[in-house]
Amino acid sequence: MASRSRTALVDGGRACGNGTGCGHVPDHTWTHSTPCFKGTISDIEICTFTDANFAQGRGASFVMTAKRASYLATHSGFVNPEIIKGVNEDLEPTGPAKYEMREFPGKGMGLVATDHIRRGDLIMGNTVSLMIDYKVFSELPKEQYIQLEAAAFDHLPGPHRSALLKLSTHEETDLPYAARVDKITATNAFDINPDHNDEDQDYAFFVVFPGIARMNHDCRANADYYYDHDTMTQYIHAMRPISPGEEITISYINPKMRRADRMERLKRLWGFDCACHLCTQGRAQAEASDERIDQIKELYPDLRSFQSSSRASPQMAELLISLAEQEMLGGTMYEAYTFAALEYNGIGDAWTATKYARLAIEWGLTTVGEKDGDVNDMKELVVDPWKHWSWMLRTRKKNGWGKEPADDE
Ligand SMILES: C[S@@+](CC[C@H](N)C(=O)[O-])C[C@H]1O[C@@H](n2cnc3c(N)ncnc32)[C@H](O)[C@@H]1O
């Protein structure tokens, strides 16, 4: 869940919407591709593009340049629609859901489990509904980009549009239409990073998924999310067993923050006073938790470094695993297990390395997905630890064997 820091109408006009001036990216046939506005900083044109047929008629809208929208339309979700068949179960469910929506006092609506959910279970997937290039917020004045957002909602098929319009505006209710759409977007969007092939790496996306947007925040959430660029889908998996009647939550912020910092960020960006278990526990417990968080952050630089100056060791990785368990940081477990696998392999203990690589894969599939680079690195390690790049690396470094590689090598 994100919060954006946002810093000449050519209605109907198109700079490169028909493929002209759009580089090598093949054009896509959009059901709507207006309105458009000229950027105030660079010579670009930003439009609303909608494909009402995307995801078996659910639809998706994009606020960006024609070139970037056309690039996104080269992803498998567009060119091979079968790949996302049945992903969205929120608007037209085909079977019983594991959750239902209900009101939670002080939080508005939220999702509650109606069945036992096991760790690692997929709870929900949503394809993109509205995807905005972050560049839009610096290139266009607010009165223009809110028109693009409103058009993005309006051009989606009816049930999808009405689900979006019902989403939370936090406390504001009496807003003009375009301002309301903007408030819904700001309250419910996630930050999504560009994929590796995207030419516009400097600009992330601001994306709304209507089913997932109903999940409330908890600093020690029981579910986690990751985005898959190929299917253009945000997936939610359970990080621990969830019982019927229990609220399903995600963390809106980086959970590796001290209590005061978490509370300040949630208040400033989402306007609520965090009352989750971790934020309301007693002073002594809160201090112990903050100290564990501090230590977790202190361990990272050494574990990430493969310079000979790094103090990283298997014991350090074991400490990170223990701290992440104590802090119930499910989203950190795959990183901690990955570090442990690399540390043990780095000193020539292939079997302990394999044990931790297996754990890293298991947790990684839940929290970052099967296409994540670290998950695939761990898959390589378990096949043949002795041929993995990390084999004996720490020992070699310690003894000064071979040249010193850069950390990103
Ligand atoms: C993405 S929406 C979540 C769903 C929302 N509760 C609803 O009614 O649709 C985010 C908004 O939900 C509310 N919210 C989410 N988590 C909360 C929490 N832990 N405590 C209080 N309010 C919360 C805040 O109003 C926040 O701006």
Report the chain (409 residues): mean pLDDT per 10 consecutive residues: 43 34 69 97 97 96 97 96 91 85 96 97 96 98 98 97 95 89 96 94 96 97 97 97 98 97 95 96 97 98 93 97 97 97 98 98 96 97 98 90 62
Question: What was the pLDDT predicted at 408?
Answer: 56
Closest CA to 252 of 270, 268, 235: 270
Q: ipTM, 2 decimals? A: 0.99
Model pLDDT for residues 32-87, shown as the tens digit of each residue: 999 999 999 999 999 999 999 999 999 999 999 999 999 999 999 999 999 999 89
Determine the angle formed by the axes of helices 373-383 and 350-367, rounding to 10 degrees. 150
H or E element, residue 114: none
Please give the single-letter amino acid code of residue 146.
I
Q: Which CATH superfamily is domain 36-250 in?
A: SET domain (2.170.270.10)
- Cα of 235 vs centre of ligand 1, distance in Å, is 19
Half-sphere exposure of 44 (CA within 13 A, CB side): 18
What distance in Å separates the CA atoms of residue 36 and residue 248, rounded to the nearest whole number?
Answer: 39
What is the residue extent of each domain of the chain?
36-250, 283-398
What distance in Å separates the CA atoms of residue 317 and residue 342, rounded to the nearest whole number?
Answer: 9
- Cα of 169 vs centre of ligand 1, distance in Å, is 9
- 324 CB within 6 A, ligand 1: no
What distance in Å separates the CA atoms of residue 361 and residue 229, rounded to the nearest whole number?
Answer: 20
Token representation of residue 285: 């417990």
Cross-strand pairs, 110: 102
Question: What was the pLDDT predicted at 20?
Answer: 35
- 216 CB within 6 A, ligand 1: yes
What distance in Å separates the CA atoms of residue 210 and residue 215, rounded to the nearest whole number?
Answer: 10
Cross-strand pairs, 368: none
Which is the closest atom of ligand 1 to the Cα of 106? 21
Helix (H, G, I), strand (E, B) or coil at 313: coil
Question: What was the pLDDT predicted at 92?
Answer: 77
Question: What was the pLDDT predicted at 407?
Answer: 59
Model pLDDT for residues 92-130, shown as the tens digit of each residue: 788 888 999 999 999 999 999 999 999 999 999 999 999
Q: Which of 90, 107, 130, 214 has the most ligand 1 atoms within 8 A of CB, as the residue to mutate?
A: 107
- 105 CB within 6 A, ligand 1: no
- 165 CB within 6 A, ligand 1: no
- Cα of 288 vs centre of ligand 1, distance in Å, is 27
Which is the closest atom of ligand 1 to the Cα of 188? 1
Q: Whose CA is nearest to atom 4 of ligand 1?
A: 214
Could you list the beta-strand ranges (E) of 71-215.
99-104, 108-113, 122-127, 130-133, 190-192, 205-208
Q: Which of 272, 278, 280 has the most ligand 1 atoms within 8 A of CB, as the residue to mutate?
A: 272
